């Protein structure tokens, strides 16, 4: 036997044998180049290994082979064939100085099997536990060991939020877990059920849904008696104030925004009412209104009269000072416009000017007499902010019409007729007799014709007459009879027909224009003619447009058949280029839940494509409406009755006909990915 063979035999004799258990320092363990898993473990997996090892130690010893040098001699290091993830977890703990670099690790030596093959075998024959088993196992740890989400997360290397999700899923009704294990319930559907821990409600909804019910529909069914945290009432009151009163909040653990629902609707409505009432009382006391009311929804203000703020009278000195301050403010801003930040001295001066201007108060304010007979209504807007409707006048507070000269003459005649005969005869001898009714009519008919002739010959006077008649009826309800022009304008409130329409984009613009004009018009209707007549023609036309717009009525009421008026409304819509896409949006509440399924599918086909319509065709009505809202969102789709089309009769639009492809809103070409929550 040669010296070399003797040395090799001695080496083999001293090397660890197959199946031997050794204690090896961590820094002597190395990654095996024969490991079949070439894609390294991600950071989350390594973090989980580290957390588990720190809490419980290495539960399963890694399998290693002896590392040898080029001559076949052991180097003292070991190559990890099975358990590389555990080795990485240990290295992470050593890096964090939780253990030493020489931390002892128990390993098992494999000197007979091919290292690559057993590594492949380990990864191929291993099957991860079903997620349902994991959910229930976490729940058992919490119940039997008393571990909280933070403790469980620390022991398994996951966040406390993930643990809370798994605990919620683990506490689901047994029927849900069985369906999930059998594959008849998907994970997103299970999470939708578990938005609430109410097992009885989970069972009820499970009995009602079909196998293809989307997760968002299940979540909606689970929370139908609750109020979402993004509801306008919640935004107005605030979740903190609601919880301070003992209200419960159901949090959604399975959505990115962490939304939720308020469970005590009665408490929420009481808090909303109390806050609105407090704001109304505060406005009445601070601003001096005769009355104040609070209401949740937008009121029908057409039932009220209206007063408007008037220009505040200022002394010449105040006007000059305001002008000087405003000019200085604009000059300072203009001079430092290029700078990213105002110099400290400029910023301080601008603040001084701003305070000085605010001290003068607003340019327009309600007169004391107006506030003494008018009130304010505080309501909750769709954006969750309080809205103040000021200057509303109740019917009983509208001043009575002053007696006309005709009534005074009639009263005088009646008084004369009721006097004793001798006195009446004496008065008749001393004063001219009153004109007979017939003669009075005859003479004033001639005067009326003369007035018609004069107004026709004076375009400016004609325009002022029309504007005056319209403005009286719009801005001074009850005083419309004060004009000789037989032009009657009816203003019909739309809020009772379509709640929220007054608070929509178009409604706010109409209201803003009326308020702007109301601030410029006089308080007393007797003074209106002088103001209107003094306006330049361009402003008279603006005022006329404001009044004419308020008087338009194109509502298709089955009990009010006006085909001629509706046809003219369509002609007018075409003339002004009306585009309702910027004013109205198709949602489940505004349209889809209020029409037949065929109409919903027709809308999705037009706005998106027939494939999407076919995909939701089997949904239940409520689910279909909600899905349609998501599909058509942002595409500007309108039902035919809201489209502005040239040459299409109103009757055809009402029947849903006459909408050719060229007049429809074109669908958005961008791809739309519909994903259940």
12-22: pLDDT as tens digits: 445 687 878 88
**Is residue 644, in this structure, part of any structural domain at all?**
yes
Predicted local confidence at residue 7, as pLDDT:
42
Predicted local confidence at residue 11, as pLDDT:
44
Alpha-carbon span 306 to 470, nearest angstrom: 15
> Do residues 481 and 524 both lie within one domain?
yes
Alpha-carbon span 158 to 547, nearest angstrom: 66
Q: Where are the beta strands (DSSP E) in 597-659?
A: none
> Do residues 361 and 311 both lie within one domain?
yes
> Do residues 604 and 529 both lie within one domain?
no
Q: 378 pLDDT exceeds 70?
A: yes
Residue where a domain stops, chosen among 94, 124, 154: 124
Helical segments of 212-264, H only: 215-222, 232-237, 239-244
**How many CA atoms does the CB half-sphere of 397 hold within 13 Å?**
19
**How many CA atoms does the CB half-sphere of 77 hold within 13 Å?**
14
**Is residue 331, in this structure, part of any structural domain at all?**
yes
On whether the CB atoms of residues 657 and 630 are closer than 8 A, the answer is: no
**Is residue 193, in this structure, part of any structural domain at all?**
no
Q: pLDDT band at 633, cuts 50/70/90?
A: very high
Q: pLDDT band at 665, cuts 50/70/90?
A: very low
Predicted local confidence at residue 255, as pLDDT:
65
Predicted local confidence at residue 535, as pLDDT:
94
Alpha-carbon span 422 to 317, nearest angstrom: 66
Contacts of 372 (CB under 8 A, 6+ apart): 288, 290
> What DSSP character marks residue 621?
H
Predicted local confidence at residue 400, as pLDDT:
63
Instruction: State the total domains in the chain.
Output: 4
Contacts of 541 (CB under 8 A, 6+ apart): 463
Least-confidence region, from 423-427, 491-495, 533-537:
423-427
Q: pLDDT band at 293, cuts 50/70/90?
A: very high
Average pLDDT over residues 18-40: 85
Q: 4 pLDDT exceeds 60?
A: no
Query: Exposure pattern of 347-367 as b/e (b: 16+ CB <10 Å)?
Result: eeebeebeeeeeeeeeeeebe
**Is residue 454, in this structure, part of any structural domain at all?**
no
User: What is the domain extent for residue 48?
Assistant: 18-124
Q: What is the pLDDT of residues 162-189, one digit of tens each?
A: 888 888 888 888 888 888 888 888 888 8
Q: 207 pLDDT exceeds 70?
A: yes
**Is residue 542, in this structure, part of any structural domain at all?**
yes
> Do residues 479 and 384 both lie within one domain?
no
**Is residue 160, in this structure, part of any structural domain at all?**
no
Kindly state the tokens that stand for 518: 């109301």
Contacts of 655 (CB under 8 A, 6+ apart): none
**Is residue 647, in this structure, part of any structural domain at all?**
yes
**Is residue 73, in this structure, part of any structural domain at all?**
yes
Predicted local confidence at residue 402, as pLDDT:
52
Most trustworthy range by pLDDT among 106-115, 130-139, 265-274, 665-674 = 265-274
Q: 277 pLDDT exceeds 70?
A: yes
């Amino acid at each position: 036997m040669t010296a070399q063979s003797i040395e090799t035999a001695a080496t083999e004799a001293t090397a660890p044998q197959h199946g031997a258990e050794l204690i090896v320092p961590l820094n002597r363990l190395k990654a095996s180049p024969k490991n079949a898993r070439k894609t390294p473990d991600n950071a989350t997996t390594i973090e989980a290994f580290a957390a588990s090892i720190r809490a419980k130690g290495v539960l399963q010893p890694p399998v290693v082979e002896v590392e040898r040098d080029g001559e076949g001699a052991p180097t003292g290091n070991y190559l990890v064939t099975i358990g590389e993830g555990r080795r990485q977890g240990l290295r992470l703990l050593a890096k964090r100085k939780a253990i030493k670099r020489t931390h002892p690790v128990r390993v098992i030596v494999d000197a007979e099997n091919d290292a690559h093959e057993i590594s492949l075998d380990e990864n191929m024959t291993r099957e991860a536990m079903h997620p349902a088993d994991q959910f229930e196992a976490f729940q058992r740890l919490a119940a039997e060991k008393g571990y909280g989400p933070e403790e469980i997360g620390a022991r398994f290397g996951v966040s406390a939020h993930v643990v809370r999700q798994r605990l919620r899923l683990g506490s689901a009704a047994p029927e849900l877990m069985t369906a999930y294990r059998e594959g008849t319930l998907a994970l997103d559907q299970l999470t939708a059920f578990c938005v609430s821990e109410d097992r009885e409600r989970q069972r009820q909804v499970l009995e009602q849904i079909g196998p293809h019910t989307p997760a968002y529909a299940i979540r909606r069914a689970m929370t139908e008696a609750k109020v979402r945290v993004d509801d306008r009432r919640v935004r107005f009151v605030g979740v903190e104030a609601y919880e301070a009163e003992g209200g419960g909040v159901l949090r959604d653990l399975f959505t990115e925004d962490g939304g939720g629902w308020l469970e005590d609707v009665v408490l929420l409505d009481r808090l909303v009412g109390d806050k609105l009432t407090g704001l109304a009382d505060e406005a009445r006391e601070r601003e001096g209104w005769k009355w104040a009311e609070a209401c949740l929804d937008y009121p029908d203000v057409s039932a009220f009269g209206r007063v408007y703020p008037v220009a505040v009278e200022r002394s010449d000195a105040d006007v000059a000072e305001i002008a000087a301050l405003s000019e200085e403010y604009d000059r300072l801003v203009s001079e430092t416009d290029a700078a990213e930040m105002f110099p400290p001295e400029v910023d301080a001066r601008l603040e001084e000017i701003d305070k000085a201007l605010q001290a003068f108060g607003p340019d327009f304010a309600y007169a004391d007499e107006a506030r003494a007979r008018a009130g304010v209504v505080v309501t909750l807007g769709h954006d969750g902010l309080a809205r103040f409707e000021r200057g509303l006048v109740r019917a009983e507070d509208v001043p009575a019409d002053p007696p006309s000269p005709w009534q005074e003459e009639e009263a005088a005649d009646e008084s004369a007729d009721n006097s004793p005969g001798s006195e009446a005869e004496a008065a008749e001898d001393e004063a001219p007799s009153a004109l007979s009714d017939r003669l009075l009519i005859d003479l004033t008919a001639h005067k009326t014709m003369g007035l018609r002739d004069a107004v026709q010959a004076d375009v400016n006077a004609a325009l002022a007459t029309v504007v005056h008649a319209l403005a009286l009826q719009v801005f001074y309800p009850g005083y419309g009879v004060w004009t000789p022009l037989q032009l009657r304008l009816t203003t019909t409130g739309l809020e009772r027909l379509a709640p929220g329409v007054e608070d929509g984009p178009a409604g706010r613009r109409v209201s803003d224009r009326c308020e702007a004009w109301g601030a410029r018009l006089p308080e007393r209707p007797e003074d209106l003619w002088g103001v209107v007549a003094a306006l330049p023609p361009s402003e008279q036309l603006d005022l006329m447009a404001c009044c004419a717009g308020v008087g338009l009525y194109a509502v298709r009421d089955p009990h009010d058949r006006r085909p001629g008026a509706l046809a003219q409304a369509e002609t007018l819509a075409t003339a002004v280029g009306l585009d309702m896409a910027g004013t109205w949006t198709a949602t489940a509440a505004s349209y889809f839940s209020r029409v037949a399924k065929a109409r919903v599918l027709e809308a999705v086909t037009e706005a998106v494509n027939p494939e999407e319509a076919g995909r939701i065709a089997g949904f239940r009505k409520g689910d279909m409406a909600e899905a349609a809202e998501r599909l058509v969102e942002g595409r500007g789709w309108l039902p035919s009755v809201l489209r502005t089309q040239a040459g299409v009769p109103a009757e055809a639009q009402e029947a849903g006909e006459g909408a050719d492809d060229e007049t429809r809103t074109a669908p958005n070409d961008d791809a739309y990915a519909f994903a259940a929550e």
